[in-house]
């Protein structure tokens, strides 16, 4: 963290005041109402390990080439503040309007060193309002101050962050990519919580969190593939969540690693180029191809078509969202060729399925005939027997027509 924040001790600071309110939440197994304080804004700083902020910071660090924690205190706060505002402008403006009219209603939670665990958007709004008005009403952030020993307990801090973020209906949810990356960083990269612990703290099943983790791994693998490791913001900027979900579903159906290693190339490259319209439908067409006898032919054709993409990725060692949009997704010839390739093989599969439809129908008929209770025929009324014979004769005529066509084909 920036040196400007190193020696802050909120509970020892005479400019921090006790509020008249409390905030109830669970900490180390105890759910209690806890004292809220009024804290001057300049004593606080954003938590660069917060799930949402960490994704935003990945963009800044990629653009600047060094850790954001090396910035001086206020410069650090201003940088993260700008990203928070840009990341969800409508949510920010809604909270800003609320605090302007009725002040801060929901208390936050901070560490004794001033690091904000809960309340980043509220803190941002207060900063902007104070900057605009210089009013004492907006000069303080109301929050619970955690005891100093909590500061070194990463597991408890993360658990609390998740509880506070996900435990209240009025909280604005994470961007889907931010949520996936938070699971990845917490459970896989930093191993702060297990998938079960993470699930318990956000009210989801462990299987759902494991599914999120697998989708996050696809994002990580995709970024490695295109030469942009750790640049999670690219997935946010390009809105890849729907594509990643489709790729996850495809991966579940791929039988072996060799096929998957081929499949992910065409999936990642189509996700990157976005050859046409809604990319999730392209992914679904590719899913049909991957699971067909045409896959190898499609894959080999794709490799030929995608050579310009390979070149575009090789000539730039600093891949970012702007380069992808302006240099890769603007290549209309590449997009058309990739789209045509998917359409061609998807059409072949459709034709093949149409050809096989009579077989499926005949199998259905045979299955239905097998369900007829022959014993029941002997106990039908005369009227029912006549009706059955009529239907039976119609079926015989149709079978004779089919037989005649088959013999002509032969």
pLDDT in tens, 173-202: 568 999 999 999 999 999 999 999 999 998
pLDDT of residue 246: 95
pLDDT of residue 396: 84
Torsion-angle region of residue 274: left (phi > 0), alpha (psi -120 to 50) or beta? left
Q: Rounded to whole angstroms, how far apart are CA atoms 226 and 238?
A: 14
Q: What angle do helix axes 241-253 and 176-183 make, rounded to 10 degrees?
A: 50
pLDDT in tens, 227-255: 999 999 999 999 999 999 999 999 999 98
Is the CB of residue 104 less than 8 Å from the CB of residue 126?
yes
pLDDT in tens, 13-71: 999 999 999 999 988 888 899 999 999 999 999 998 887 788 888 888 888 989 998 99
- Of 86, 121, 91, the closest CA to residue 104 belongs to 121
> Cα separations (Å) of 162 from 207, 286, 347?
17, 36, 46
Quote the DSSP letter at residue 174: P
Q: What angle do helix axes 241-253 and 279-290 make, rounded to 10 degrees?
A: 10
End-to-end CA separation in angstroms for the chain: 80
- Of 298, 253, 246, the closest CA to residue 268 belongs to 246
Q: Which residues contact 230 (CB under 8 A, 6 or more apart)?
A: 58, 62, 223
Q: What angle do helix axes 279-290 and 332-370 make, rounded to 10 degrees?
A: 60
pLDDT in tens, 309-361: 999 999 998 999 999 999 999 999 999 999 999 999 999 998 776 666 677 77
Q: What is the mean pLDDT of residues 287-296?
A: 93
pLDDT at 273 over 60: yes
| Claim: this prediction has a pTM higher than 0.85 | no
């Amino acid at each position: 963290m920036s040196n400007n924040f190193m020696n802050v001790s909120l509970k020892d600071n005479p400019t921090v005041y006790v509020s008249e309110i409390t905030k109830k939440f669970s900490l180390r197994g105890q759910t209690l109402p806890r004292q809220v304080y009024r804290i001057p804004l300049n004593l606080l700083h954003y938590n660069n390990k917060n799930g949402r902020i960490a994704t935003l910071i990945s963009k800044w660090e990629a653009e600047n080439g060094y850790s954001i924690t090396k910035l001086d205190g206020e410069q650090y706060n201003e940088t993260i503040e700008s990203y928070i505002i840009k990341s969800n402008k409508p949510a920010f403006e809604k909270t800003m309007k609320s605090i302007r009219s009725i002040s801060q209603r929901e208390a936050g939670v901070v560490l004794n060193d001033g690091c904000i665990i809960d309340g980043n958007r509220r803190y941002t709004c207060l900063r902007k309002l104070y900057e605009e008005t210089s009013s004492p009403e907006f000069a303080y952030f109301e929050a619970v101050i955690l005891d100093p020993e909590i500061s070194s307990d990463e597991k408890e801090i993360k658990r609390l962050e998740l509880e506070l973020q996900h435990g209240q209906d009025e909280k604005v949810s994470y961007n889907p990519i931010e949520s996936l990356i938070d699971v990845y960083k917490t459970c896989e990269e930093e191993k702060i919580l297990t998938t079960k612990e993470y699930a318990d703290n956000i009210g989801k099943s462990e299987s759902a969190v494991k599914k999120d983790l697998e989708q996050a791994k696809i994002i990580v693998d995709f970024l490695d593939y295109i030469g942009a490791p750790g640049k999670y913001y690219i997935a946010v900027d390009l809105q890849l969540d729907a594509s990643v979900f489709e790729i996850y579903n495809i991966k579940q159906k791929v039988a072996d690693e060799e096929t998957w290693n081929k499949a992910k190339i065409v999936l990642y490259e189509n996700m990157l180029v976005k050859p046409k319209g809604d990319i999730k439908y392209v992914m679904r067409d590719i899913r049909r191809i991957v699971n067909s006898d045409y896959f190898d032919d499609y894959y080999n054709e794709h490799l030929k078509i995608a050579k310009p993409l390979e070149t575009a990725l090789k000539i730039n060692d600093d891949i970012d969202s702007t380069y992808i949009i302006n240099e890769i997704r603007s290549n209309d010839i590449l997009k058309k060729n990739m789209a045509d390739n998917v359409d061609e093989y998807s059409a072949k599969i459709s034709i093949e399925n149409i050809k096989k439809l009579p077989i499926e129908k005949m199998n259905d008929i045979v299955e239905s005939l097998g369900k007829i209770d022959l014993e029941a025929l002997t106990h039908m009324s005369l009227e029912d027997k006549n009706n059955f014979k009529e239907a039976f004769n119609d079926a015989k005529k149709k079978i004779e027509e089919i037989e005649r066509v088959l013999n002509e084909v032969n």
